[in-house]
Amino acid sequence: MDMLWNIGSGGGKRKIVGNVITEECNDSYIPPRLNYLQRHVKILLYSEGKHTSVQDLYLQGDHVNGLLTGVAAFVGRMNIRKVAVLPAFVAEMLASNPNVDPLRYLQVYRSNFEILLAPVCEQSHWFLVVFYVNARVVTSYDSMKSGPPNIFNALKRCIESVLHVQFAYEDKSDTVTLQQNGYDCGVNGFRMGEQICFNGENTLIEPFYAEAERARCREILRKLTDNEISDEWVLPVQNDTDFVNLNKPNNADVITVNDSDNGIEIEIIETDKKTVNKKNDTVIKKRNDIEVVDLEDDILNL
């Protein structure tokens, strides 16, 4: 059964008036693609002990894209505001090809949106670049407050060229909730994007229960995948134990994808079912035996 929502590839129609190429973008709402949700590996909690390294706790491109497009689609359906999402892989494409057309890849809205969310991953760290279209302001949110990503200027020029808007940079780091560990930048980035979708701006989250927020992300992805979100969004975290007992991984849920000089390596790690302590009983490795789904799909899975 085909479970994909509207892919919406191709961007707005172009027409030539004289020697000028103009865009005729459709203002209609575009349901985000479901394959972000179908492909993602279950988010692991540190407390569950299922990870074999800290890298297993990093949010992947499918996680971040699925979460951001999910909340942007919700606020769009509820007429709260129009938020477009530029999937994370576009920034990586832009790094090697400055002529990438971002309109081809915009999700949720293609035009007449108020805010554009552009997640960026560099050196295994997530940033969230946000274009406030009406205010003509752009900023970069970083849960480590290390400054904008290296691709920021190229991304800004690219968006300005297709929207025909000049954006002024504004430092909003005083609204950033710092991450509490070395692996939750994706979780923090989503929470900032979520607040921007609902409130139009980011604000500090105090207290911030990192493990519960991570578990909530996992629950949001499950609900989006199972189409359980209609007119009510997932409740916010109130206590440090919220959501942590939901959607616990099975014994064979740990799947890591690593890039190496010799190609791509997939490890499926099964844990011992007879003991609570983690034990790697089986490690199955396949090299260079990867099905390529779609070049437009997330190249950027950590």
The 3 state secondary structure assigned to 55-94 is: HHHCCCHHHHHHHHHHHHHHHHHCCCCCEEECCCHHHHHH
Q: Which domain holds residue 286?
A: 251-290
124 in the same domain as 273: no
Give every residue of the chain whose pLDDT is below 50, as ranges. 1-26, 254-302
Q: What is the SS3 assignment for 131?
A: strand
Asked if residue 132 is part of any domain, the answer here is yes
256 in the same domain as 240: no
The per-residue pLDDT for 30 is 75
Q: Which of 222, 192, 208 is nearest to 63 (CA)?
A: 222
Answer whether 140's CB lies under 8 Å from 126's CB. Answer: no
223 in the same domain as 277: no
75 in the same domain as 36: yes
The per-residue pLDDT for 251 is 63
The per-residue pLDDT for 41 is 82
The per-residue pLDDT for 252 is 54
Q: What is the SS3 assignment for 143?
A: coil
Tell me which amino acid residue 76 is. Answer: G
199 in the same domain as 148: yes
The per-residue pLDDT for 201 is 96
